[in-house]
């Protein structure tokens, strides 16, 4: 299992592009992206559970009901959400792209991100499609990744190489996500491609299983987006024996998929709006997986804990507070808490009570850009990890005038 370059174009048979089509006023920013499989691919997707959903999610769900897709198109800068003609715009996008590519409109996955509630004009998208297609390249992953960014400050892409039998397979992904991230399915927008030969049923099983321990364990600000989607295309170009059941090959695929999704989770959490630090909360010693997950997510969502991490303040009481209101079965008198970074590790709580520790050492540890919050419940064998970021002054600045 090796990390490689190439993102969504690392796998055989995929091209991608990203261009500026005119949705954004800033002409230096790409605002329309395309991922294309040379052949029809099996597809699986998961969507936000927010009751208010972007129109593209509805159209995509209908389009891929047959289990196949060829292309993914996404605009940024203006979300197609809460628009009276949103469905029409999403369908038109699929139609225009399908016609230009010579494929069925139903073989198009459509997505959208940006400001919610503003009317979205179809003309920039329609006019931008020819240039988008002309720009398609086997090296176009980064352009596509740039084209789906909103308040993101960093491009998020990764790819992995692995073997199924004697065949080399590749899987890669791009993502966008910086704010409005507290998923209840996946997170923001994530597009994954693979040349592994795997059935639609097993692809769907893999994705649905993976997100529960990856994207659903990320939180930046407690707000669940209306546009969240994770989609994966598998075109089978690696020519491995087709994965149609839960066997050793499927386990290898799951490991590769998880390598990609965990990397993207860390990228998203570390690039939270205004963030200066990636927070990784690792809970061990829980009675059940559910307890471990809910405790980890509760801590990573705690505004007070996030603020303390921003200030490099080893205020471990805020961690215990968050564990307490997670409403999980825990024995407070058994809980241990430590903070860890590249500068070392320091225990700050033992058996639910404070211990003597060096505030100076703790400060050095917490001044690093990646912080681990280690919690041992000492009550079982289950563990879980959640990802988040610190809460800074800039988060309020960014969101105070996000629309205007």
The per-residue pLDDT for range 271-290, each reduced to its tens digit, is: 877 789 999 999 999 999 99
Q: What does the alpha-carbon distance between residue 149 and residue 33 come to, in Å, rounded to a whole number?
A: 10
Q: What does the alpha-carbon distance between residue 258 and residue 141 come to, in Å, rounded to a whole number?
A: 20
Q: Which pLDDT band holds residue 400 (cuts at 50, 70, 90)? A: confident
Residues 296-322 have a mean pLDDT of 95
Pair type for strands 108-112 and 229-234: unpaired
Quick check: 222 pLDDT over 70?
no
Written as six digits, the tokens of 275 are 């963030």
3-state secondary structure of 128: helix
Written as six digits, the tokens of 102 are 């010579």
Provide the strand spans (E) within 287-401. 336-341, 344-350, 353-354, 370-376, 382-389
The answer for residues whose C-beta is within 8 angstroms of residue 367's C-beta and 6 or more apart is 312, 343
Sign of the alpha-carbon dihedral angle for 34, 95, 47, 254:
negative
Written as six digits, the tokens of 397 are 């600045």
User: In angstroms, how far is the first alpha carbon of the chain from the final one?
Assistant: 45
Q: Which pLDDT does position 114 carry in this prediction?
A: 85
The answer for residues whose C-beta is within 8 angstroms of residue 346's C-beta and 6 or more apart is 314, 338, 339, 340, 357, 358, 361, 362, 365
Q: Which pLDDT band holds residue 260 (cuts at 50, 70, 90)? A: very high
Q: What does the alpha-carbon distance between residue 349 and residue 337 come to, in Å, rounded to a whole number?
A: 5
Q: Which pLDDT does position 395 carry in this prediction?
A: 78
Q: Which pLDDT does position 5 carry in this prediction?
A: 96
Average pLDDT, the chain: 92
Residues 36-54 have a mean pLDDT of 87
What CATH number should be reported for the domain whose range is 2-270?
A: 3.60.70.12
Q: Which pLDDT band holds residue 221 (cuts at 50, 70, 90)? A: low
Q: Considering only 47-61, 251-265, 332-346, 372-386, which range has the smallest mean pLDDT? A: 47-61
Residues 146-173 have a mean pLDDT of 95
Written as six digits, the tokens of 382 are 């289950």
3-state secondary structure of 146: helix
Delimit the domains of the chain by residue range: 2-270, 278-400
Q: Considering only 40-49, 67-76, 130-139, 357-366, which range has the smallest mean pLDDT? A: 40-49
Q: What is the strand order of the sheet 336-341 is part of?
A: 353-354, 344-350, 336-341, 370-376, 278-286, 382-389
Quick check: 238 pLDDT over 60?
yes
Q: What does the alpha-carbon distance between residue 33 and residue 16 come to, in Å, rounded to a whole number?
A: 8
Q: Which residue has the higher pLDDT, 265 or 227?
A: 265
Q: The pTM is what?
A: 0.84
Following CA atoms 126, 129, 130, 135 in sequence, which dihedral angle do they give, to the nearest 10 degrees? 160
Q: Which pLDDT does position 58 carry in this prediction?
A: 92
Q: Which pLDDT does position 203 carry in this prediction?
A: 98
The answer as to CATH 3.40.640.10 being correct for domain 278-400 is no
Residues 236-254 have a mean pLDDT of 98
Same fold, 2-270 and 278-400: no
Q: Which pLDDT does position 182 carry in this prediction?
A: 54
Q: Which of 141, 77, 152 is nearest to 112 (CA)?
A: 77
Question: How many CB atoms are closer than 10 A to CB 244?
Answer: 13
Q: Considering only 221-225, 358-362, 399-403, which range has the smallest mean pLDDT? A: 221-225
Q: Which of 189, 167, 182, 177 is nearest to 8 (CA)?
A: 189
Residues 357-383 have a mean pLDDT of 97
The gap from C-alpha 120 to its chain's centroid, in whole angstroms, comes to: 24
Q: Which pLDDT does position 185 carry in this prediction?
A: 36
Q: Which residue has the higher pLDDT, 73 or 219?
A: 73
Residues involved in catalysis? 187
Quick check: 223 pLDDT over 70?
no
Quick check: 386 pLDDT over 80?
yes
| Per-residue pLDDT reduced to its tens digit, 168-201 | 999 999 999 765 545 543 447 999 999 999 999 9
């Amino acid at each position: 299992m090796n990390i490689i370059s190439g993102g969504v174009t690392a796998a055989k048979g995929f091209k991608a592009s990203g261009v500026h089509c005119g949705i954004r006023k800033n002409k230096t920013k790409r605002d329309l992206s395309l991922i294309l499989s040379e052949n029809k691919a099996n597809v699986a997707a998961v969507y936000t559970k927010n009751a208010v959903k972007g129109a593209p999610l509805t159209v995509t769900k209908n389009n891929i009901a047959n289990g196949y897709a060829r292309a993914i198109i996404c605009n940024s800068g203006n979300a197609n959400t809460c628009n009276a003609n949103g469905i029409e715009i999403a369908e038109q996008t699929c139609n225009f792209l399908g016609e230009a590519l010579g494929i069925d409109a139903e073989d198009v996955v459509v997505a959208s991100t940006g400001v919610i509630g503003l009317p979205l004009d179809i003309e920039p998208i329609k006019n931008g499609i020819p240039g988008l297609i002309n720009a398609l390249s086997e090296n176009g992953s980064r352009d596509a990744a740039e084209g789906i960014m909103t308040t993101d400050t960093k491009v998020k892409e990764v790819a992995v190489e692995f073997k199924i039998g004697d065949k080399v397979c590749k899987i890669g992904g791009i993502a966008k996500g910086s704010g409005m991230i507290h998923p209840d399915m996946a997170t923001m927008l994530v597009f994954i491609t693979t040349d592994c030969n795997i059935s639609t049923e097993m692809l769907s099983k893999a994705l649905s299983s993976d997100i529960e321990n990856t994207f659903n364990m990320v939180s930046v600000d407690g707000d669940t987006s209306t546009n969240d989607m994770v989609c994966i295309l598998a075109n089978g170009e690696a020519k491995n024996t087709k994965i149609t059941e839960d066997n050793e090959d499927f386990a290898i695929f799951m490991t590769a998929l998880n390598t990609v999704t965990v990397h993207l989770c860390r990228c998203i959490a570390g690039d939270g709006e205004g963030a200066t630090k990636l927070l990784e909360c690792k809970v061990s010693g829980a009675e059940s997986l559910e307890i471990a997950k809910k405790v980890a997510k509760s801590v990573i969502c705690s505004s007070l804990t996030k603020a303390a991490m921003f200030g490099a303040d080893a205020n471990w009481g805020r961690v215990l507070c968050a564990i307490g209101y997670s409403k999980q079965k825990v024995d407070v008198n058994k809980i241990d808490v430590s903070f860890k970074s590249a500068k070392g590790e320091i225990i700050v709580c033992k058996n639910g009570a404070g211990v003597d520790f060096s505030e100076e050492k703790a400060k050095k540890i917490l001044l690093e850009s990646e912080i681990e919050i280690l919690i041992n419940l000492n009550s079982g064998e289950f563990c879980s990890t959640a990802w988040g970021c610190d809460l800074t002054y800039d988060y309020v600045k960014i969101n105070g005038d996000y629309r205007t």
